[in-house]
């Protein structure tokens, strides 16, 4: 399950950034997740929660903002793709091109200035 590895990388990146800026302990990690990169949101969330619990990192949470995949139709319309079939809502054509999405990116970190949890 590659979602576990991604969750682990997100957690480590947040902890490194917290150390770097000396801003306290991260309480929320916000990520944007493109719908076209094949990551299961529930598996990512569950993996992250398991890592936080295992490392006794308190109430550290992951907020995921899903970003739908998009296509550009031959008629010029740009539209969100919610399933495997990309049908233009304007002209009905299936002749469209995928627009590269945002992938996975950390959009924000919130910090708690209280003591660092015991597992840290």
Question: Per-residue pLDDT tens for 1-14?
Answer: 699 999 999 999 99
Question: Per-residue pLDDT tens for 60-101?
Answer: 999 999 998 899 999 999 999 877 788 999 999 999 999 988
The string of DSSP letters for 7-76 reads HHHHHHHHHHHHHHHT--EEEEEEEEEETTS---HHHHHHHHHHHHHHTT-TT-EEEEEEE-EEEEETTS
> In the chain, where are the structural domains located?
2-68+101-112
The predicted structure's pLDDT at residue 34:
87
Question: Per-residue pLDDT tens for 48-62?
Answer: 999 999 999 999 999
Closest CA to 112 of 47, 37, 29: 29
**Structural Rg of the chain based on CA atoms:** 18
CATH class of 2-68+101-112: alpha beta
């Amino acid at each position: 399950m590659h979602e576990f590895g991604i969750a682990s990388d997100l957690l480590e990146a947040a902890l490194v950034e917290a150390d770097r800026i000396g801003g306290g302990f991260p309480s929320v990690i916000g990520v944007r997740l493109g719908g076209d990169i094949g990551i299961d949101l529930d598996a990512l969330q569950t993996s992250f929660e398991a890592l936080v619990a295992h490392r006794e990192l308190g109430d550290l949470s992951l907020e995921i903002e899903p970003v739908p995949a998009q296509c550009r139709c031959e008629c010029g319309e740009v539209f969100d793709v919610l399933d495997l079939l990309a049908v233009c809502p304007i002209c009905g054509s299936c002749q469209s091109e995928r627009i590269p999405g945002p992938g996975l990116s950390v959009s924000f970190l919130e910090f708690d200035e209280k003591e660092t949890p015991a597992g840290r």
